[in-house]
Amino acid sequence: MRVLVTGAAGYIGYAVGRRLVAAGHDVDGLVRRDAALPDGVRPVRGDVLDPGSLPAGPYDGVCHLAALTRVRESFEEPLRFFTANVQGTVNVLRAAAGARVVFGSTAAVYGTPERQPIPETEATAPSNPYGASKLAAEQAVRYHARTGAIGAVVLRTFNVAGSVDGRADPDETRLIPKALAVAAGRAPRLEINGDGRAVREFLHVDDLAAAYVRALEAVDLGEDRVYNVGSGAGTAVHEVVAAVEEVTGRPVPTLRRPPQPEPPVLVCDPAAIRADLGWRPERSALPEIIRSSWSALTRAGG
């Protein structure tokens, strides 16, 4: 297939492009400026907020990953997030006629449900503008697919970590990059909420990229599907810290902040994608995630 990847130079977009090339697809990567892309991915200049700049194609498939993603920033600039994540998606959909579209969404659309692990049938109730903007974009994708103009798969991801090709996760607001920054001496301590017993799950970015390939190859025009993508294995924050110390051989001092309201557990139920697409995470054991992240950080001079 000829495939366009938006956000191709980003943390996840790079990994997806790399996997698509390995699977034998002909891949264009949409970028706004010069950027490093995987071998075999052709750079195409454009911006999802500028419809006239989007490549005409035609494309057999589109993996749409260009988005704003930081939750805290979304509270400060909600309109910016809705513009980028909703209008940007609408622009991509208009340019993707006849294509199979895999849309990168998030577990933030669920909010903080009591039922754990979380299935796709759980009611959506986003608690921040980021999650709300992604849910609105999901709805645009799915309703458009029901017209027969495209086929669509929405992938709702939980916590993505790890590294491919020595590319570290650049977002040090996330737990594993934050803990590794402390281990590398780039930060004095890791601040955690309360006793660190909140449970989260982690998925290697390469495993997520493999799910994009499976989804792209499975969907037909007129279909719309939604899948959770995650390991399904929960790990407490304090266990993540201990694993970082063990893998790196360095201490990670922590500072316990007064407890703030947060879900005690957020873990996905990945049964549907496993049953429908035969996808299984292969690199998402926590030590491997941390090793690949640490290798990328130290290679970059962290």
Q: CB atoms < 10 A from the CB of 18, how many? A: 24
What's the token pair of residue 176? Answer: 């594993």
* CA 286 to each of CA 68, 108, 163: distance values in angstroms, whole numbers, following the listed order: 26, 22, 12
Buried b vs exposed e over 20-58: b needs ≥16 C-beta within 10 Å? bbebebebbbbbeeeeebbeebebbebbbeeeeebeeee
- Would residue 278 be called left, alpha or beta, if left means φ above 0 and alpha means ψ between -120 and 50 degrees? left
Nearest to 208 by CA among 42, 111, 77, 63: 63
User: Annotated catalytic residue: which of 59, 130, 212, 227?
Assistant: 130
Cβ–Cβ < 8 Å for 266, 149: no
Cβ–Cβ < 8 Å for 199, 126: no
Concerning whether 110 is annotated as a catalytic residue, the answer is no
Calpha distance 131→133 (Å, rounded): 5
Cβ–Cβ < 8 Å for 118, 110: yes
pTM of the model: 0.96
Nearest to 120 by CA among 280, 277, 269: 269
Classified by CATH at the fold level, domain 162-201+232-299 comes out as UDP-galactose 4-epimerase; domain 1 (3.90.25)
pLDDT value, residue 235: 96
pLDDT value, residue 168: 87
pLDDT value, residue 301: 61
pLDDT tens digit sequence for 110-162? 999 989 999 999 999 999 999 999 999 999 999 999 999 999 999 999 999 99
| Phi/psi at 153 (5° precision) | -130, 125
pLDDT tens digit sequence for 287-301? 999 999 999 998 866
Where in the chain are the domains?
A: 2-160+203-229, 162-201+232-299
Classified by CATH at the fold level, domain 2-160+203-229 comes out as Rossmann fold (3.40.50)
pLDDT tens digit sequence for 73-115? 999 999 999 999 999 999 999 999 999 999 999 999 999 998 9
pLDDT tens digit sequence for 19-38? 999 999 999 999 999 999 99
